[in-house]
Structure 1
Amino acid sequence: MAKPPGPLLLGVRHHGPGSARAVRAALAAARPRAVLIEGPPEADALIPLAADEAMRPPVALLAHAVDEPGRSAFWPLAEFSPEWVAIRWAVEHQVPARFIDLPATHTLAWGKDAESAPADKQADDAAEVQAHGNGAGADVRVDPLAVLADAAGYDDPERWWEDVVEHRGVGDGDAFAPFLGLEEAMGALREVYGTGGHERDLVREAYMRLQVRVAQREFGDEVAVVCGAWHVPALRQKSTVAADKALLKGLPKVKADMTWVPWTYRRLARASGYGAGIDSPGWYGHLFGAPDRPVERWMTKVAGLLRDEDRLVSSAHVIEAVRLAETLAAMRGRPLPGLSETTDAVRAVMCEGSDVPLALVHDRLVVGDVLGEVPRSAPAVPLQRDLDRIQRRLRLKPEALERELELDLRKENDAERSRLLHRLRLLGVRWGEPVVSRGSTGTFRETWRLRWEPELSVRVAEAGVWGTTVFAAATAKAEADAVGAQGLADVTALAERCLLAELPDALPVVMRVLADRAALDADVGHLAQALPALVRSLRYGDVRGTDTGALTEVAAGLAERIFVGLPPACAALDADAAEEMRRHVDAVHGAVGLLGDAVAAGRGTQGEDAASGLAAQGPGGSPALGHRALRDRWRAVLRVLSVRDSVPGVVRGRAVRLLLDDGELAQDEAARLMGLALSPGTSPGDAAAWIEGFVGGGSGGGMLLVHDERLLGLVDAWLTGVSAEAFTDVLPLLRRTFSAYEPGVRRTLGELVRRGPGERARTQVGGSGIPGFAAELDVERADAVLPVVRLLLGIERAEEDVEDDLSDKGLVGVTG
């Protein structure tokens, strides 16, 4: 069939490999003098970059408001997108290519719904439109593909599209026939549904008609237009220039900037919330890129992925899966196996009927984690260019696939990587999220979970208002955040982040704000929240070489104010406030230990003052404490909390436990205080709260009860003496206390209680009566583990040498 008269209108489905192949064939047959593509005209200058060897789709055109970078829109393109194929064809054949959709300057200004979301043209052309049936006001969402599929007898629009378009070979008949058929179908749908209630479509189509007329005046009818199939009937209809211009009159505007940014297959997926998304971008990319035998090549990919996951998949599985997919296609009346057939075959043959490995295949291959690349010559804000330069220098390449990065801060390159990631987090660019290190708890090691999302390009553009380099922008942002912080804890957390990001220019501003807030804040809870983060920051000076002297002074002053205000603040608290105060006591206890180490090391002190317990001045001129004085003062506070009747039981119990763990309280004294707390004169609720504070949670209280049967006996005697009425009230608290113990600890405690006090008394000479728990080392049990330890260490030496080795490592004496 010859080319139809007038401009060649190629209606497509966005991100469809069948449409992309058909567009390429139609352009090759028509040889137009110009190619017009649905997209923002501001991107015309970016089209030549598509020929750059460094440009690898998926990519997206990013438009953002210059004065408000967070207001943005994307136009994603994959290698199987018809628009991308048209751009590449035009560039390769040196044919002018232009974008003809409504300019981004109007799209970005047209309501807040355009902010940080895919462009409207993509959402509209997803063919989810609203229609007013019979002129009524009820909105009905219509998917034209679903309507056409239903008319053809299909219950799945994707399967219909695959059979009609994706499985149609390039050489199957005339190059223009599929577009004429699709135009006729969409024309019928537009007659029924109109614009579907989207008045914006009328404006966009009016602008596109004007641009087509301009191209016709310049190139005649030898013009090809690549646009969403839904728009083709509107572009074909006759309309006057005056009528089209009238629709465009008075549109809002903002100053917009555009560039290319990397995109990912995952963000092309419908599951990501993208309006024009597809279910299987990875599968479509495979169909578009496979030169022949797509099913065989796909099954080979699946087998390779499963083998990498240590599943037994052989070439025989691949052959059998291909045969099954072809058989299923024949049984279902399909011309070729589609995604549903290949998925069913993979599940049955390679996954043994399990959906667990099939989910991995869907995530890694059907959807995919491909991340595109753009050339360095693409326009970008200065901050983005500085970030690109740092990424290349540190060999830290953005990737769409989530991965963990282990950093050793003693190595300069790893330390710089850490600083970059922390600075980006300060700027709101969350490329990496810190996670708990598996191998070490030392401050010299960090673990990050990295994943680059396309939206981070927008965050970088937003952060560009703070500076032209990552360092300058992070510094300015930290200073602004310090001044605008709402609470004292926010400022201390910011100080910690400044140390992690190594921002020495921002730290003085943060410290000045911190000192001012600390001097004015009289809430002990706020001070207790602020101290741990502040003291944690002191540890980073060791590894990162950061001067934390000023931080030490402020922390010591905060600690002194907490010591003074904590006992009164613990009076007359309800259950929730008491539990919160217990958490504050735990946090301050850990912080005082770290702060004492920092002061002992001489940071923030002068000369011999640190050794004598004196230090520099704290906030407001109050004398800060030295390391011994800090710990002694805190222990004195804990002693006050442990015996004051007005303090809630959960706080008193925790204070006794902390003193016992530090060796400041003898076992006999702890047992006496427990006996008083569990005496008949104490209400069951308060006694249960005391137990929660003393042995509750993950504080190791279970092992304390296992090894000290006097304490266990006191708890047991109290619990058996609680009345039936009171027991119902204290049961939830007790259950919360003991359910946090490890199963082995609970089992041991149950065995001890089952034997009863009499049995424990008769076994007192030998210890607790439970194998492995005694006053002295159980030599027989310790010897039993030596062969296993020798095997784990991979050594073949005499037993006494192994014991020496274990003794050096502190392992001898560890039983069970």
Structure 2
Amino acid sequence: MAVHILGIRHHGPGSARNVKAFLEEIQPDIVLVEGPPEADAILQWATHDELKLPVAILAYQPDNPQQSVFYPFAEFSPEWQAIIYARKKNIHVRFMDLPIGHQFALEQETKNEALKNDAPVSLNNNAETIDEEKAIEEIKIDPISYLALAAGYDDGEKWWEQMFEYRNDNDQVFDAVAEAMQVLREAFPKKEDRIEKLREAHMRKTIRQAEKEMFQNIAVICGAWHAPALLNMPKQKDDNELLKGLPKAKVDCTWILWTYNRLSFYCGYGAGIASPGWYDHIWKYPKDDGTRWMAKVAKLLRKKQMDTSVANVIEAVRLAESLASLRHLSKAGLEELNEATLSVLCNGETILLQLIQDELIVGNRIGVVPADIPKPPLQNDIEKIQKRLRLPPTADFKDYILDLRKENDLERSIFLHRLQLLEIKWGNKYAVSGKGTFKEQWRLQWDPAFSIDIIEKGTWGNTVEEAATKFVSEKAVKANALTEVCALLENTIPAEMPVAIEVLINRVNNLAAAAGDVIQLMEVIPNLVTVNRYGNVRKTDAELVLGIINSMIIRICISLPAACTAVDETASQHLLELFYKMNDAINVLQQMEITLQWKQTLSSIVKNKNTSPIIAGYATRLLTDHKLLKGEELVHVFYYAMSAATPPATAAAWLEGFLKGSGTILLIDNDLWSVVDNWVKELDDNVFNEILPLLRRTFSGFTNAERRKLGEKVKKSDSVNTGIIAQQLESNFDFERAKQGIPVVMQLLGYRQQ
């Protein structure tokens, strides 16, 4: 009976190649792999024709899907090669790690204990100092770095690649790995945390169980750090004592698609690697001297409209080989190839190297999972809709511009809006240029973590529509803020969920009836008008929403004049923005009765002398736009507001409100221009300096063209006025009559004629 311990590096192509070769040589009758035993039942899908790597095993608690863990696999993962070997040879293959159910339960116990004691509690039962614990944690996470340092390397990744991933002679490589790890464990003899000890105890238990079942040739594939613990087994009684009485949670497992991006440690994956795309390349082409890789780089650059010749590729390969030779390396690695690429192909531009990093070194490959693999009902429904609407999940982002007049695009929009309501943010919506409301732009990028969200939201229903309807309805019932419910209604209308819309409308109606704050009502009106507008575009019944809008606007019109008095500057600015949006919303509605009530409200606000100046100015401007104030009447109102009897600060605030958003009226109405021009000229220097910030804020809202034309008008007005005065002096001045007044003036000044 033989037990072969193969210590490997997770997702290492060299380790995967060594494992594959070793298994073919020893021909084991059972393969034990580090992984969750709960997933043994789904290993049968590993050799399915439709399964394309990378994929991952998702283990989760059905009653708490957020409590989950992923086990990703790529083609160059040693564990995957071991599984595939066993499945193709039709021999037993099992996972041997500590069951995830125990790990989840222990983690929950730790959290509960921490909450109970109001202090962090570790699974580590040992009483080491903080510095010692940190040292042990570093050794446990990256023991290779210490071996690399001893060999003269400052980078553990590079040392491992040169020693194991690129080498051709792999005889006794697993013995060397086990010996190296044994030295590290002896050099740092501090005990590890409880979870690690439990994991290794369960691995040994699984090996003993295989021996008990009379398997004669056992292959064990585990992380390199665990190899010495499995070679030097303690007494069975000690392991049983460790594993005795462990709590356990219920766990389900399934296969999900994965991406190379998520396989990298940049996304927070603990066992991640820096370059999945590069590892995939050296797995497929282990003897590549860099030529194939540089050809890929050149193809990518040409695709991005960058000129790259064959001569440049050859030069880059030779430079990488020269760098490897100078560094005493057996072959050029990724670092040498990147340096050569940067110098020769990218002309020193690091932004191009970042493109290569994203597209080739990391890569955007995404896996495929067979449709008939058992999955939660909601996930099945999502995948069916994705296939029907031709919206494949991709690792890289993809943009879609949807025309809502087309049936397929409308269904796509509805589907994406429903996913957003379920807080599955596969798509991000962007603004579309143009005035039409029949277009939407979406950017889609699939994240494997969505699988957890899908499982979690599956408790609300088995289909997207059912789950979204129940989820939104529950949120509507719990929401107490009118703005929150209106925003939810705005997002629900495009999703076309009549049941949820009815619940939301009733909730809006109830909250609006109880709301006494006119400001709060004004804040939600624009969103409700948008809801009504989208309802018309999408051919949905929005009459109920329109009824609520009309009733709320009537209440606003009644209460608004009083709300515009006795408010400070900050509140006035906020109210001004609400006025701006409110007026736009009423213009969009195009309801004659509502528009008439709004005009009457504006007239009341203008006539009230206690109204905030900035609000009074803007209300006057709106009446002007509605043609209710014009000609001499408008000039009279304007002159009164800007007269010398009005404090300058008040007049400046009124002017800011009147000119809100546009100063075109001053360009086309010369009478108003004259009033403003004269008012500014009559200001004292100190007063002018005091109100100058207000005037600057007013004119900053104008376009560049408006400001330029207003400046030209000021210059023209000054020159015209000067010319008129000079002309009058020259043509109408009576010099003889003026001379007769000189003696009188001189006498008044105390002078006598000589």
TM (normalized to structure 1)? 0.81
Q: How does 1:157-236 map to 2 (within 5 A)?
A: 157-169=156-168, 172-174=169-171, 177-194=172-189, 197-236=192-231
- In structure 1, the partner of 2:575 is 581
Q: How many residues align?
A: 708
| CA contact 2:430–2:442 (8 Å) conserved in 1 | yes
In structure 1, what is the Cα distance between the partners aligned to 2:182 and 2:720?
90
Distance in 2 between residues matched to 1:482 and 1:574, nearest whole Å = 35
> Cα 1:167–1:707, aligned 2, differ >3 Å: closer, same or farther?
farther
User: Given residue 331 of structure 2, which amino acid in structure 1 is its aligned partner?
Assistant: L
Q: 1:90 to 1:735 in 2, by over 3 A?
A: farther
What is the aligned partner in structure 1 of residue 629 from structure 2? 665
Shift of 1:288: 1.4
Residue of structure 2 in register with 1:26 after alignment:
22
Structure 2 counterpart of 1:41, which letter? P
- Is 1:646 matched with 2:606? no
**Equivalence for 2:72:** 76
Show the counterpart of 1:154.
Answer: 153
Q: 1:552 aligns with which of 520, 537, 546?
A: 546
Q: Which has the higher contact order (CA 8 A, sep 6+)?
A: 2
Query: 1:152, 1:281 → 2: CA distance?
Result: 25
Q: CA deviation at 1:568?
A: 2.0
| Corresponding position of 2:96 | 100
- How far apart are 1:552 and its partner, in Å? 1.1
Asked if 2 retains the 8 angstrom alpha-carbon contact of 1:73 and 1:108, the reply is: no
Q: CA deviation at 1:363?
A: 1.5
Q: By how many angstroms is 1:260 displaced?
A: 0.6
The 5 Å alignment of 1:360-399 reads 360-399=355-394
Q: Which residue of 1 aligns with 2:719?
A: 759
Deviation, structure 1 residue 109 = 2.8
Shift of 1:191: 2.0
User: Equivalent residues in 2 for 1:502-581 (5 A)?
Assistant: 502-581=496-575
Does the 8 A contact of 1:33 with 1:219 survive in 2?
no
3-state SS of paired residue (1:335) = coil
Query: Could you say which residue in structure 1 is the equivalent of 2:295?
Result: 300
State how far apart, in whole Å, the 2-side matches of 1:188 and 1:729 are. Answer: 79
Aligned counterpart for 2:31 among listed residues 29, 35, 40: 35
Q: What is the rounded CA distance, in whole Å, between the counterparts of 1:747 and 1:219 in structure 2? A: 93
Contact 1:132–1:193, Cα closer than 8 Å, also in 2: no
Structure 2 distance, partners of 1:132, 1:398, is: 48
2:411 counterpart of 1:451: no
Query: Does the aligned pair in 1 maintain the 2:10–2:271 contact within 8 Å?
Result: yes
Residue number among 304, 313, 324 corresponding to 1:318 in the alignment: 313
State the Cα distance separating 1:578 from its structure 2 match. 2.3
Alpha-carbon shift at residue 155 of structure 1 (Å): 1.5
For residues 137 and 727 of structure 1, the distance between their equivalents in structure 2, rounded to whole angstroms, comes to 70
C-alpha distance in structure 2 between counterparts of 1:259 and 1:236, whole Å: 32
User: Can you give the 5+ residue segments of structure 2 that lack an aligned partner in the other structure?
Assistant: 112-123, 725-754
Shift of 1:674: 4.9
Could you say if the C-alpha distance between residues 403 and 738 of structure 1 is closer, same or farther in structure 2, counting changes exceeding 3 Å?
farther
Q: How does 1:260-299 map to 2 (within 5 A)?
A: 260-290=255-285, 292-293=287-288, 295-299=290-294
Paired residues of 2:289 and 2:332 also in contact (CA < 8 A): no
Q: Quick one: which of 400, 410, 414 aligns to 1:415?
A: 410
Contact (CA 8 Å) 2:289, 2:331: kept in 1 or not?
A: no
2:27 maps to 1:63: no
* Residue of structure 2 equivalent to 1:331: 326
Partner Cα distance (2:622, 2:110) in 1: 56
Q: Secondary structure at the match of 1:7?
A: strand
What SS does the aligned partner of 2:575 have?
Answer: helix
- Larger mean Cα displacement after TM superposition, 285-294 or 727-736: 727-736
Higher-Rg structure is: 2
Q: Which moved more, 1:704-713 or 1:251-260?
A: 704-713
What SS does the aligned partner of 1:39 have? coil
In structure 2, distance between residues paired with 1:199 and 1:727: 76
Question: Secondary structure in 1 aligned to 2:6?
Answer: strand
Structure 1 Cα separation of the partners of residues 47 and 705 of structure 2: 65
Q: Aligned Cα RMSD in Å? A: 2.9
Does the 8 Å contact 2:617/2:657 carry over to 1? yes
Report the CA distance between 1:452 and its aligned residue.
Answer: 0.7
The alpha carbon displacement at 1:656 in A equals 3.1
Q: What amino acid maps onto 1:14 in structure 2?
A: H
Give the C-alpha shift of residue 575 in structure 1.
3.1
Report the Cα offset of residue 486 of structure 1.
Answer: 2.4
Q: 1:85 to 1:563 in 2, by over 3 A?
A: same
Q: Show the counterpart of 2:428.
A: 433
Q: 1:100: how far off?
A: 0.9
2: CA distance, partners of 1:110 / 1:706:
75
Instruction: Provide the C-alpha distance between the structure 2 equivalents of 1:576 and 1:267, rounded to a whole number of angstroms.
Output: 47
Map Cα deviations across residues 375-414 of structure 1 (whole Å, 9 max, x no partner). 1122211111111111111111111111111111111111
2:64 aligned counterpart, secondary structure: coil
The one-letter code sitting in structure 2 at the alignment partner of 1:139 is K
Contact 1:130 1:139 survives alignment (8 Å) = no
Query: How far apart, in 1, do the equivalents of 2:388 and 2:665 lie?
Result: 52
Q: Match of 1:759, as an amino acid?
A: S
Task: Decide whether aligned partners of structure 1 residues 158 and 574 sit closer, same or farther in structure 2, where only a CA change above 3 A counts.
Answer: farther
> Do the aligned partners of 2:432 and 2:439 also contact (CA within 8 Å) in 1?
yes
Q: Which moved more, 1:158-167 or 1:732-741?
A: 732-741
Structure 1: tracts of 5 or more residues without a match: 116-128, 597-626, 765-816
Query: How does the TM-score come out when normalised to structure 2?
Result: 0.87
CA–CA separation in structure 2 for the residues paired with 1:678 and 1:641: 18
Would the aligned equivalents of 1:62 and 1:261 in 2 still touch at CA under 8 Å? yes
2:143 equivalent in structure 1: 144
